[in-house]
């Protein structure tokens, strides 16, 4: 943006020192010349004079909502209110909009503009959804990676390419699974091991049939499955360590 707008671009975020932020605040307060402010959520509190456009990029991101410290607010919603105070336009951009934003767009409260093509004509990747319960019944055992995923990774390596496996849970085994019906029980290891994030050693010990004596507990989780009325359970699920 600086290559296009030059010195008119103003950057503002919490990494600046107090003196730097005061300088930006005074510049906007005293100088009403046109500028483009690029900032984090706190930039909605800057002293704007003639605000004409507010762009909220990736509006679905939960990080726009500040929980701690105070003040607790949603910068996306605050930006919409700020734009209303100045009579400015608001552009909420997202490839996967939040439920409330998309609902308002479909209801006619927001205007909806859809981009049916990616920039530069880049093709969308092929997405395949794999039913892991069906994989469990076919293989007869719980597998961390489906057959389709395993084949795709092997093919990528054979083609001298790289493969990335994204997983949003750290640790080892976060749940217990019934081997009879493949239903996962809500038995987080935090219920049996008094630690917020199960370590690998604690999970491995649990899977082996005992909990480390240092924790002061013994035994393994046992329960009756509500579907099949039996319990043929074992530690299941997987985190990044187990993958």
pLDDT tens for each residue of the chain, 243 residues long? 888 888 889 999 888 888 999 999 888 888 878 899 999 988 999 999 889 999 999 999 999 998 878 888 999 999 999 999 999 999 999 989 999 999 999 999 999 999 888 888 888 888 888 888 888 888 877 677 888 889 999 999 999 999 998 877 666 666 665 555 555 554 434 444 333 334 434 434 444 443 333 333 344 444 444 555 444 555 556 677 766
**In angstroms, rounded to a whole number, what is the distance separating the alpha carbons of residues 2 and 39?**
14
Assess contact for 198 and 238: CB atoms under 8 A.
no
Task: Give the pLDDT score at 2.
Answer: 83
Residue with tokens 């005061």: 22
**In angstroms, rounded to a whole number, what is the distance separating the alpha carbons of residues 186 and 177?**
9
Q: Is the peptide bond before 175 cis (omega within 30 degrees of 0)?
A: no
**In angstroms, rounded to a whole number, what is the distance separating the alpha carbons of residues 49 and 25?**
12
DSSP state of 211: -
N residues, the chain: 243
- The structure's pTM equals 0.58
Assess contact for 223 and 233: CB atoms under 8 A.
yes
């Amino acid at each position: 943006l600086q290559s296009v707008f030059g010195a008119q671009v103003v950057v503002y975020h919490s990494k600046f020192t107090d003196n730097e932020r005061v300088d930006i605040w005074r510049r906007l307060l005293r100088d009403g010349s046109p500028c483009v402010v690029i900032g984090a959520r706190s930039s909605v509190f800057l002293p704007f004079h003639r605000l004409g456009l507010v762009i909220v990029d990736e509006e679905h991101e939960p990080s726009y909502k500040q929980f701690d410290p105070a003040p607790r607010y949603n910068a996306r919603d605050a930006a919409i209110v700020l734009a209303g105070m100045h009579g400015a336009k608001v552009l909420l951009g997202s490839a996967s909009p939040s439920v409330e934003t998309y609902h308002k767009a479909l209801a006619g409260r927001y205007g909806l503009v859809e981009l049916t093509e990616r920039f530069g004509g880049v093709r969308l990747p092929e997405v395949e959804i794999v039913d892991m319960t069906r994989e469990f019944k076919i293989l007869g055992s719980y597998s961390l990676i489906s057959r389709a995923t395993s084949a795709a990774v092997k093919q990528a390596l054979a083609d001298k390419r790289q493969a990335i496996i994204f997983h949003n849970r750290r640790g080892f085994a976060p749940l217990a699974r019934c081997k009879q019906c493949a239903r996962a029980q809500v038995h987080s290891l935090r219920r049996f091991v008094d630690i917020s994030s199960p370590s690998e050693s604690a999970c491995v010990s649990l899977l082996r049939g005992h909990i480390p004596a240092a924790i002061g507990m013994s035994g393994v989780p046992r329960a009756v499955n509500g579907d099949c009325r039996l319990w043929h359970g074992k530690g299941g699920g997987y985190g990044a360590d187990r993958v």
